[in-house]
Amino acid sequence: MDTPLSDSAIREIVEKQRRFFRTGATLPVSWRIEQLKRLKAAVMAHENAFEAALAEDLGRTQLEAYLCDIGPIITEINEMLRGLRRWARPERHFSGLMCFPSLVTKVYKMPYGVALVISPFNFPILLTIGVVAAAMAGGNTVVIKSSSKSAASTAALKRFFAEVFPPEYVTLIDGGHDVADRCLSQRFDKIFYTGSPAVGKHVLSEAAKNLTPVALELGGETGNWCVVRKDADLRDAARKIAFFKITNAGQICININQIAVAEEVAEPFLKELRQAFTQQIGEHAEENPEYPKLITDGAYDKCARLAEEYRARIVFGGNGNRETRRYAPTIIYPVRIDEPIVQHELFCPLLPVVPYRDAEVDALMETIAGREHPLAMYVFTRDMRWANRVMRTQQFGGGCINEVCIHMMVKGVPFNGTGHSGMGAYHGEWGFREFTHPQTVLKGRTRFNLSLREHPYTGKAGESKMKLLRLFER
């Protein structure tokens, strides 16, 4: 990694991008489309380099790297290429009788200007390029601060952007938290951060100094719940949960942090879950080269220490290899709902299981609702009336009924959190909206202007104006 940039060097990068933005070069939609096409072609050309970087940082196989990082980027850009002209078209509104003789008011979708994108380590390619694409679609220039934890991916991304775009349009800055703070001290026009709630608070605090609008995509401070009711298809639920927990070794912001399972079916469900893990990744996942690794030694040690605290209740897994940083998927059972392990985000392969009585499921949901809003919610049940009521009344970013994670792959819908799991939204048109602000412009006329808004407001003239106002407001 290069020597960290100084405050003055970062300030110069931002100012160069601001000067470029002020030329108006990024405003034409046709120009933005050309840049997105260039971005897509470059992603496809650098596929092998990205796969190698993801293998080095996170132990991803080629297929998992494409499934989770590279393929979704291409899909996302394709959606932007198909929809951008429609999204960017100014809205036309009838001005209303109160504004007569003006007939037309337009709402323009204007870029913010110079955007700062701070990306995380867990999906370093997807959550960098995917967000940058949204910023580009909106007509912004972009400064990227990528994660120092995923060093190989950051190095690959830095080479990538330097080859594809001039620095006054898109540039990547590497470095640790000190460099991130130097970036945050600059006056940006939009900030998009993906990461933890604790750092999200810091980003929001720094942005407030310049009144910069912020989008935060966070993991959820008290974790994402999966609720398995007694009428659920246990084998189906276990298969999907196991797949998801194996993916990226649990280092996913929308991953299942803990399971609540009806005690009436807890034992058969745990049997199915153990079998699903074994079938998909083997009895000793820590020795399987297909299984991803934790991002740093510190992350591995934190996971291992927490597992040791619950060693007596581990019913599957509990083994790791510090040299390779692989820690097996680990089921911990039983866990009470008030224990610390189910009151914070784990971001690792540990999977606490909380038993509850199925007749008391609504009380369980009340307890979950009383904690910080999660980024995701998953329920497995045949009771669609109950499931739909949960999805309509609980507060969370997004979720699934009898499925996991794939809600984020649906085109045309937002990916977002709420409260401690974030603010703002993106993917497709929602990303375009996140990186633009609606700008209302009324076109006035010089003839036939009414004197309604002008004095006098009293006497017969005032009475006549009041009658007209009441008529126009109907």
How far is 263 from 280, CA to CA, in rounded Å? 25
List 79, 206, 217, 372, catalytic entry: 217
How far is 88 from 202, CA to CA, in rounded Å? 32
- Whether the CB-CB separation of 327 and 305 falls below 8 Å is answered with no
Q: 249: closest CA among 295, 210, 216?
A: 295
Crossing angle of helices 47-58/151-164, nearest 10°?
160
Residue 151 DSSP one-character state: H
Q: Is 223 left (phi over 0), alpha (psi -120 to 50) or beta?
A: left
List 68, 99, 183, 253, catalytic entry: 253
How many angstroms separate the Cα of 427 from the Cα of each of 74, 78, 88, 146? 12, 11, 15, 19
How many angstroms separate the Cα of 121 from the Cα of each of 44, 53, 103, 126, 148? 21, 12, 51, 10, 8
Residue 312 DSSP one-character state: G
- Written as six digits, the tokens of 381 are 């049940």
Is 253 a catalytic site residue? yes
- Written as six digits, the tokens of 337 are 């709902």
Rg (CA), the chain: 26
The DSSP string of 280-315 is: HH-S-GGG-TTS---SSHHHHHHHHHHHHHTGGGEE
Q: Which three-class secondary structure state does DSSP give residue 373?
A: coil
- Whether the CB-CB separation of 345 and 196 falls below 8 Å is answered with yes
Q: 431: closest CA among 447, 418, 420, 415?
A: 415
Residue 162 CB partners (closer than 8 Å, separation 6+): 171, 172
Q: In this structure, how many other beta carbons lie within 10 angstroms of the beta carbon of residue 315?
A: 15
- Written as six digits, the tokens of 396 are 């969370």
The DSSP string of 172-221 is: EE---HHHHHHHHTS--SEEEEEE-HHHHHHHHHHHHTTT--EEEEE--T
Q: In this structure, how many other beta carbons lie within 10 angstroms of the beta carbon of residue 382?
A: 12
Residue 335 CB partners (closer than 8 Å, separation 6+): 258, 310, 313, 341, 342, 352, 353, 354
How far is 381 from 24, CA to CA, in rounded Å? 53
Is 323 a catalytic site residue? no
Residue 244 DSSP one-character state: H
Catalytically annotated residues? 217, 253
